[in-house]
Amino acid sequence: MTDLGELGLSSYEEKVYRTLLVTGAATATEVSEASGVPKGRIYDVLNNLKARQLVRTQSTEPTRYAAEPPEIVVDRLLAERTAELQQEWARYREVANSVRSNLLPTLPADGSVWLGALGSEEMQTALEEHMQTATNSVRAAVGPPYESASWQALKQEVDAFFDGAQPGLTVSLLVSQQVIETAPDALFDVAEEHAAEVRIRVLPEIPVSFDVIDQTVTTIDIPHPQMTADRIGVVAVNDSDIVGEFERQFQELWAEAVPLLR
């Protein structure tokens, strides 16, 4: 490819422009004969060069064409090429952004957040409605903020939790040692009164409280940034991948835990 071709001229356009530089102003027929560009293409080529301001016409009969000075033509071709490259660069950036976003993990679209302090009325209602959706099993890990909460606040949520439980429901409670030490035996009496089967195991420490209902929904407590005995709310997610991961984590913790002896 020639230098003018690199700057955006086709082979016919380059032949015509170079011919006009040699012949000076000439008719289309004269340019065709001198350049070797077929007569059937010469007008398209000349008109395209004129539209790009690389040649100009003279008001004669027949019309004569003249080449613009080379320094002007080169600057105009360079400007065209720069604009094309800028557009191409912008297009590639859009493609890159699209690819980058497609390669990132997909954020779960299915979920909600319940705002409410520990033991609050709105949270009691939310927990009861949450449990009403369970038809088979509930696995719950109980750690902070319940470890530092008062028995009154804890009991309100325990009551709401089990008030929504359907008959025949199997409940697996995984509790931290600190919860066991601070909660009276009434906590477990409430659990056993409501569920068909309640299994309780203990771990020395549970970093976060969460539950998994029927292996289809999980809720995770959102810690309060200023109060260890409270939370901001609970986030509920039914994205299958996330629920599956919490189910797997619960099973691993459950296998490590010790059955509660009463």
Distances from the Cα of 35 to the Cα of 44, 46, 47, 147, angstroms: 14, 12, 16, 92
Q: Is the distance from CB of 128 to CB of 166 less than 8 angstroms?
A: no
**CATH code for the domain defined by 3-102:** 1.10.10.10
Domain locations along the chain: 3-102, 111-259
Instruction: Provide φ and ψ at 125, rounded to 5°.
Output: -65, -45
Which pLDDT belongs to residue 20? 95
Per-residue pLDDT of the chain (262 residues; tens, 9 = 90+): 688 888 999 999 999 999 999 999 999 999 999 999 999 999 999 999 999 999 999 999 999 999 999 999 999 999 999 999 999 999 998 888 777 656 544 444 456 888 888 888 888 888 888 888 898 999 999 999 888 887 777 788 888 888 888 877 889 999 999 888 877 666 666 666 665 578 889 999 999 999 999 999 999 999 888 988 888 989 999 889 999 999 999 999 999 999 987 6
**pLDDT at position 105:** 46
- Cα separation, 48 vs 62, in Å, equals 18
- By C-alpha distance, which of 33, 63, 31, 59 is closest to 45? 31
The predicted pLDDT at position 192 comes to 64
The CATH architecture that domain 111-259 belongs to is: 2-Layer Sandwich (3.30)
What per-residue confidence (pLDDT) applies to 97?
75
| pLDDT for res 256 | 96
Report the DSSP beta bridge partners of residue 58: 64
Topology match between the domains 3-102 and 111-259? no
Pick the closest to residue 197 from 134, 112, 110 (CA basis).
Answer: 134
251 closest CA partner among 208, 222, 204, 212 = 212
